[in-house]
Amino acid sequence: MNSNSKFRLQGLMLASLAFIADQIVKYAMLGPLQLQSRGVIHIISFFDLRYAENRGVSMSFLTADSDGERWALVALTGVIAVAVGVWMWREKLRGDVLALSLVLGGALGNIVDRVRYGYVVDYADLHFGAFRPFYIFNLADACISIGVMILLARAFLISDKASDRGSVVQEPVSSADIVEKS
């Protein structure tokens, strides 16, 4: 198995893990914990489990108020997920493959919610007093955000992607070097 195939397999495994973990946690929130009827479960002073229905995308943009808008949003996010999947499949750098797989797994988790419920189930509420640095979010949102941050960091901080592939930079060879070695 060549390294590209190995990276793709690792990416598919990580995307699957992110998707499955997201769905398990959402099941726990809606099933055993009954968060939708309890509203809030206080965990620690700066983190609560708080039930929220997100009918839009990131930070409730593009809110879908009707069935037509809901299915248009499912289609739009589905197209984006397919594009991320194709990008992940074509990517040759392990770090980028793994970052894209987090984005893909998270996107699929939220798409399944939108299809199943008509909205995305959010529950994680990080706050410091009244200050909330984020809207209420879920594991899928965290995977998407972390994947995007890794991609951005790699794009800005890695000056030469060839070094990530483990390629060797060779010094230029002059004609004098060739004559001298023969």
Higher pLDDT, 173 or 105: 105
Virtual CA dihedral for 118, 107, 63, 27, nearest 10 degrees? 40
Cα atoms found within 13 Å of the Cα of residue 115, Cβ hemisphere only: 11
Report the pLDDT value the prediction gives residue 21, as an integer from 0 to 100: 98
| 4: confidence class by pLDDT, cuts 50, 70, 90 | confident
pLDDT in tens, 45-64: 999 999 999 988 765 566 77
| 159: confidence class by pLDDT, cuts 50, 70, 90 | low
Burial of 56 (0-12, 13-18, 19+ CB in 10 A): middle
Residues with catalytic roles: 122, 141
| 169: confidence class by pLDDT, cuts 50, 70, 90 | very low
Q: E strand or H helix at 9, and its extent?
A: helix 3-30
Please tell me the pTM assigned to this model: 0.82
| Residue 167 scores a pLDDT above 50 | no
